[in-house]
A = this chain, B = another copy of it.
Amino acid sequence: MNNPFLVEVTRGNLVESRHRGSVSVVDAEGATVLSIGDVDRRVFPRSAVKALQAMPLVESGIADKYGLTDEEIALACASHSGEPDHAATAKAMLAKAGQDVGCLECGVHWPMGEAANRALAATGGNPSALHNNCSGKHAGFVCLACGQGQNPKGYVLADHPVQRSVREALEEITGACHTVEKSGIDGCSIPTYAIPLPSLAFGFARFGTGSGLPGDGKAAAARIRRAVARYPFMVAGTGRFDTKLMALLGERAFVKVGAEGVYCASLPELGYGVALKIEDGNGRAAEAMMAGLVLRFLSLDIEERRAVEALAQPVLKNWNGIEVGQIRVSSEIKGAA
């Protein structure tokens, strides 16, 4: 089936570009709340599931064993901008497990955040793996390995105990089989498993409510959601969508960007999980759609509504600050007014 147009980008009076996509909203019992587009097609959740990948670290008690703070737990769920506080926090997590940057296997890239990027260049410095947007998740993996008494070396590989724990946690919470045939290697070198959007949405419905999670899963999910809501800077960074939305709404919306136009969210008060994919992988469209869905489902006061509308329909300005167009979410996403 053809995915519908869900986001358009205007210039002057015309539509310049259009984004198609699919979205699934599911409740914690797995019932469909909303389904648009080809939701059966498997998508790679990649960074959108970092909070779910952090479950074994918290649920096992290893986060407590190492005395990880809420900032550190939030960073374990992050695609951060590589700002100094992000890098320092990842370093501190590693130190708690008796490790350092040398054991990170995520690879090195310059800070994702433009200002952080140039600030680092201005010092004459070079980036380390601590600046990789996934360094917090990886520091969490290293803590998990050390806490389990495993050698962290090779922790990115599918058959290392760390990735086995992570895959089992993902299968448990989403209910979807995670198989090698439907896997790929992520930007930071860990395996990523393609699953359908409704399974992903179901996982986030359960992450948001704890419903049906065995053992200490419910408490672990609540702890992670609280940590991120308290420190939304840690999960993204200055000016970023996830940071802005969670700074605004706190624990009412857990949202997390993934690569290639994937976005996931938990809306705990409704018991809903949300998963969406922009067909072409575009991030601006995924953000606008997520903001549009938050507007649709959550009751917001006037100020909150205005702030989320600005994220759902951002005005586009050029290098002279002149308004040249807008990003707009379709009425299919907005639902009834």
Contacts and interface: CB of A to CB of B under 8 A. Distances in A.
Interface of A: 2, 9, 11-14, 16-20, 42-44, 105-110, 114, 117-119, 121-122, 124, 132, 181-189, 192, 194, 260-261, 278-282, 285, 318-322, 324-325
A44 B110 CA distance: 33
Contacts of A117: 117-118, 121
22 contacts: A9-B281, A12-B184, A13-B182, A14-B182, A14-B194, A16-B44, A16-B281, A18-B280, A105-B320, A107-B321, A108-B319, A110-B114, A110-B118, A117-B118, A118-B121, A122-B122, A184-B324, A184-B325, A187-B319, A188-B319, A189-B318, A189-B322
Copies of this chain present: 2
A8 to B, nearest CB: 10
B42 A14 contact: yes
A320 to B, nearest CB: 4
B9 A185 contact: no
Interface centre among A9, A42, A184 (most CB of B within 10 A): A184
A279 B20 CA distance: 9
A16 B184 contact: yes
A281 B194 contact: no
Which residue, A11, A18, A285, has most C-beta atoms of chain B within 10 A?
A: A11
A108 B17 CA distance: 25
A12 B184 CA distance: 4
Given A12-B194, A278-B280, 4 more contacts: A12-B182, A14-B182, A121-B121, A280-B282
Nearest to A19: B280
Residue among A20, A122, A280, A322 facing the most chain B CB atoms (10 A cut-off): A280
A228 to B, nearest CB: 24
B16 A260 contact: yes
B107 A187 contact: no
Contacts of A189: 318-320, 322
A156 B76 CA distance: 48
A17 B122 contact: no
Nearest to A277: B17
Contacts of A110: 114, 118
Contacts of A186: 318, 324
A117 B121 CA distance: 9
A319 to B, nearest CB: 3
A253 B319 CA distance: 31
Contacts of A18: 279-280
Given A17-B281, A184-B12, A185-B12, A132 B319 contact: yes
B122 A44 contact: no
